[in-house]
Structures are given as structure tokens and as C-alpha cells.
Amino acid sequence: QSVLTQPPSASGTPGRRVTISCSGSSSNIGTNTLSWYQQLPGTAPKLLISTNDERPSGAPDRFSASKSGTSASLAISGLQSEDEADYYCGAWDDSLNGWVFGGGTKLTVL
């Protein structure tokens, strides 16, 4: 059981917009930066974007992140086939004194 809650799957057709939600609590999302990580098949996770708008150089601006209270979301516009991956939300938790993650959302591009 993950501390952060994500839907297990999401899907969309090429060119469309899809959003993935992430729900937490006041000790994690409610207080700290929420980040999104992309894990392509067979590879390590990598930082995609965070809610303080930090994104690695080269990360496409088709990805955007937002946060409200204890919930957050990742939006992907102009969906592309290479976006098929697992997406994880993560944040520092002040009660657990460690990072917590969502269970991951498998994105399928139809």
C-alpha cells in the first residue's frame, strides 16, 4: 500500500491530452514539493518535472505539473507514442522522515 495514491493506469490517443492524479496528505504533498518521475520500460526512473516547475534540461514542455492542497496532477499534452511509460509521483514526508511515492500509473498510448 503506497502512501501516495495514483490510478494504476491511464490511456490516450496520439495528440490528445491526458492527466494523472496523485493524492497524499498534509505531511507530504500538503507541505513539500511534489515531483513526477518517468520510468521507461527496462530503465531507471528519471525526474520529469516538479511542482516548483523544476524540470531537467531537455525535458519536453508538453509535461506540466500542478498541486492544490494535498493533491497533485501531471498533465501531458500532445501525447506521443514515446510517452508510454510508468509515471510515479513522489514527495518528502515530514512524519516518516523519508520519501514517499505513489504506486505508479502505467500510461498507454492507444
Which residues sit at the interface with other proteins, rule CB under 8 A?
A: 2, 32-33, 35, 37, 43-47, 50, 52, 54, 56, 88, 90-92, 96-104
Instruction: Name 84's Cβ contacts closer than 8 Å, sequence gap at least 6.
Output: 41, 107, 108, 109
Q: Residue 13 or residue 41: which is nearer to other proteins going by CB?
A: 41
Torsion angle in degrees (nearest 10) through CA of 61, 67, 72, 77: -20
The C-alpha cell at 14 is 496520439
Nearest approach, Cβ of residue 91 and other proteins (Å): 7
Nearest approach, Cβ of residue 96 and other proteins (Å): 8
